[in-house]
Structure 1
Amino acid sequence: MSDDMLGRGLRLLTTLSRHPEGLGVSAAARAARLPVSSAHRLLARMTEEGFVVHDPSARTYALGLRALELAHGFHRTPAGFNHLLGPMRQLAERTGLVVIAGILDGDQVLLVRSVQGSQHLQLRSDEGTRNPWHATSLGKALVAARPEADQERLLAGPLPRSAPNTLSDPDELRAELARVRKLGWAEAEEENERGVRSIALCVPAADPDGGPPQLALSLGATVVLTGREELHDMVPLLQTTAREAAAYGR
């Protein structure tokens, strides 16, 4: 397989990962910016290899079990963020809330690890999920730690609204990032999803001179069960967890 075909195949897999319900050939080709004929050949080959499954009745393609093997294999590697699980589980047990780890990828936050809490209302926090940086506490914490030039590039947009409370005005977001830097942590109040509030802060970088932090941790809660001030009171616990996660990663 040529490098070009490999790249096209990977683009198709990435596209399918964002559409768990499956896509038809034409829709997958359009989303991956590929000719339909190329997408059809690649999907057929990846189906043979088990990376994709085909539903003949719905005429759609979705990720297969081999893709799951890749995901589990990644989590077993040094880059798989396994060092976060111990501190995250302890925090989830202590607070009853979901604990999420995320990184900044372009203008989105990618969730890389999550540990559910014990509250009977739990949030959706699937690993691999992407959210707009400006609508999440994770994203605001990470962007606030970036150089000013990076911040301005992200503030230039686009800044889509995910919920009625999403901050989409660059000046408001600029002020919000300044507030995050002053406090040392970020919050999102029903900004990415109705009924959900969260706090987040960065995990200290292993080498403070090596650039800004690349990873952040958050506590997520429903507005029904956890008040805003109650969540704010958990900031010290989140700070302790971030320090422990940094120590585990060294």
Structure 2
Amino acid sequence: MVERRRVKVLDNTVDILMLFLKHKKPLGITEISNLLQTYKSSVHRILTTLKYRGFIRQNSETKKYWLGSKFFSLGMLYQQEFKLQDLARPYLQQLAAECGETVHLAIFDELDYTKTVTIDKIEASNRLSISPSAGSQTPVHATAVGKVLVAYSTHEIQETVLTSSLERFTENTITDQSGFKAELKEINEQGYAIDDEELEPGLTCFAAPIIGGQKQEVVASFSISGPRVRMFDNQTKMIDSIKITAHQISSELK
């Protein structure tokens, strides 16, 4: 029923916009057409409309397209209404200062539960060049924030992730269903997750869930990220700290 109600041109428009999110760079009509395997004329019509309405802008020299100012306006409006960041930020800033490492706050991508979206990032004294930026997407099965979200989510979401393609990013990425299922069980029992160079070589993260709402469900997760040696040298202290921080933020959402 939902499939029949979908509007094809809107589907195509969203597909084009998601390419900008995925590739994080300006794209040309031919590029978009090849990536989506669709007609250039269709891509051109959609981009022309989006450009006219201020959602897309075109570089006059390269002729490539990029996001327009309307998306910034919508993003700011969304940010104003998204209170979780405001509520969590003081606690996450304290955590970053205490541990001296970068902290990320993440939620599920509501359109694709195999991915997370970073909604806040707090740099500490030890800055990281390879950690995800605010607004970026990461795969749930290869990140500590993602694994925590899945471990504390519904059975339906867990099955969606478990039956998806668990892509390998490093030698440590968990790519088999049984291994990932066992990992989720362990995370749920211990209350935190570890990404041990599973997405990026040299990068290790410890993460914990934020529980809230009337049903006391997982609403977000956060992590501390840093070089592997430094993280495991301070593992006990950092895991204690993220558990305390998780409890503090979750208590605010009761």
The interval holding the TM-score normalised by the smaller chain is: 0.7 to 0.9
Listed one character per residue, the Cα deviations across residues 194-243 of structure 1 (whole Å, up to 9, x for unaligned) are 11000111112233xx263121111111225x131413421121122222
User: CA separation in 2, counterparts of 1:162 and 1:236?
Assistant: 28
Cross-structure match for 1:197 = 204
> What 5-or-longer segments of structure 1 have no aligned partner?
none
Match of 1:61 in 2: 65
* CA-based RMSD: 2.5
- Kindly indicate whether residue 244 of structure 2 is the aligned counterpart of residue 240 of structure 1: yes
Distance 1:33 1:84 in 2: 42
- Within 2, Cα distance between the matches of 1:34 and 1:169? 33
Inter-partner Cα distance in structure 1 for 2:138 and 2:196: 15
Cα displacement string for residues 171-197 of structure 1 (whole angstroms, at most 9, x for unaligned residues):
211221121122111001000111100
Of all paired residues, the percent bearing the same amino acid is 24
Conservation of the 8 A alpha-carbon contact between 1:98 and 1:123? no
**CA distance in structure 2 between the partners assigned to 1:248 and 1:31 by the alignment:** 44
Find out whether 1:185 has 2:162 as its counterpart.
Answer: no
Cross-structure match for 2:3: none
Structure 1 Cα separation of the partners of residues 160 and 132 of structure 2: 27
AA paired with 1:186? A
Secondary structure of the residue aligned to 2:211 is coil
- Return the alpha-carbon distance in structure 1 between the equivalents of residues 70 and 208 of structure 2: 34
Q: Which residue of structure 2 lines up, in the alignment, with residue 75 of structure 1?
A: 79
Query: TM (normalized to structure 1)?
Result: 0.86
- The alignment's TM-score, normalised by the length of structure 2, stands at 0.85
Change in 2 beyond 3 A, CA 1:90/1:211? closer
The Cα offsets for residues 140-182 of structure 1, whole Å up to 9 and x where unpaired, read as 1111113445323321221001222111011211221121122
Contact 2:114 2:160 in 1 (8 A): no
Tell me the amino acid that sits aligned with residue 175 of structure 2.
S
Of 18, 34, 45, the match for 2:22 = 18
SS at match of 1:213: strand
The answer to whether the Cα contact below 8 Å between 2:101 and 2:127 also exists between their aligned partners in 1 is no
- Aligned counterpart, 1:142: 149
The equivalent position to 1:90 in structure 2, one of 91, 94, 98, is 94
- Offset of residue 33 of structure 1: 6.4
CA 1:211–1:88: 2 relative to 1, 3 Å: closer
Task: Tell me, in whole angstroms, the C-alpha distance in 1 between the residues paired with 2:127 and 2:135.
Answer: 23
Aligned residues of 1:97 and 1:219 also touching (Cα < 8 A): yes
Deviation at 1:65, TM superposition (A): 2.9
Query: Structure 1 residues 134 and 216, CA, compared in 2 at 3 Å: closer, same or farther?
Result: same
Which residue does 1:213 correspond to in 2? 218
SS of match in other structure, 2:25: coil
Instruction: Give the distance between the partners of 1:20 and 1:50, measured in 2 at CA.
Output: 19
Q: Counterparts of 2:198 and 2:172 in 1: how far apart (Å)?
A: 5
Cα deviation 1:77-106 (Å, max 9, x = unaligned): 145632221211111121111111111231
Give, in whole Å, the separation in 2 of the partners of 1:121 and 1:154.
28
Structure 1 counterpart of 2:232 = 228
Change (3 A) 1:77 1:154: same
Q: Which amino acid aligns with 1:73?
A: L
Match of 1:131 in 2: 138
Say if 2:59 is the partner of 1:52: no
Distance (Å, rounded) in 2 between the aligned partners of 1:19 and 1:152: 28
Letter in 2 for 1:14: M
Instruction: Count matched residues.
Output: 246
Contact 1:19 1:62 in 2 (8 A): no
Partner of 1:171: 178
